[in-house]
Amino acid sequence: MGSTTSSNLQKRNASVTGQQVRFLDQDPVPSSLRGREGWLEQESRRMAVVRVEGSLRHVPKDWLVPAQGSAAAVRQGSTACSAPDQSVSYLDPNQPEIDDTEGDDDPITQQAWYSLLEVCLELNLSPEDAQQVIAEAAGIPPDELDPSQLTWRQYLQAIERLEELESA
């Protein structure tokens, strides 16, 4: 049995699977992902699952743009996919996954913190509830939540949790 979020992602946008995307080269994107390219696996209203050098990354959609030369970037009415039928892993399952998590333990930017709070407001969470949800997702006690100490890994966990709340 798959997770609700994963199945919702697949149901909503199965047609975008295989699109080549590029991470923005600016805040709030973590430095370890800036300018890198990957393949869009799944997409929802706020989040995307992107395969980057063998690893699946759950990231906010506003961190992504169509990659240069991809079908979406060219913006022609063609229905041809830039990577047909590559939603199934094209990597050797015996090959170890490449660790591209460098930078995930770096602190988030102030802009990223405000965007997280903005998502909470859109879900009509009170400031106290927002702090509780973010802290639980990050695995820290709510009274110890310090935006300047929140890492990119915790940020992404919080975004995933907020997406689960939105789809519930």
pLDDT per residue as tens digits for the range 39-61: 998 888 788 889 998 888 888 88
Q: What pLDDT was estimated at residue 55?
A: 84
Q: Is the pLDDT at 72 greater than 60, yes or no? A: no
**pLDDT reported for residue 22:** 95
CA 43 from centroid of its chain's CA atoms: 9
- Quote the pLDDT of residue 87: 34
Given a cut of 80, whether residue 6 has pLDDT beyond it is: no
Range in 39-43, 90-94, 148-152 the model is least confident about? 90-94
Whether the full predicted model's pTM is greater than 0.85, yes or no, is: no
Average pLDDT in the 137-166 region?
Answer: 91
Under 8 Å between Cβ of 92 and 52: no
Rounded to an integer, the average pLDDT of 8-33 is 71
Closest by CA to 61, choosing from 98, 99, 16, is 16
For the chain, the domains span 4-74, 110-167
Cα separation of 159 and 48, whole Å?
11
Half-sphere exposure of 131 (CA within 13 A, CB side): 10
CB 112 within 8 A of CB 28: yes
Residue range 4-74 in CATH 3.90.105.10? no
Q: Which helix (H) or strand (E) holds 48?
A: strand 47-52
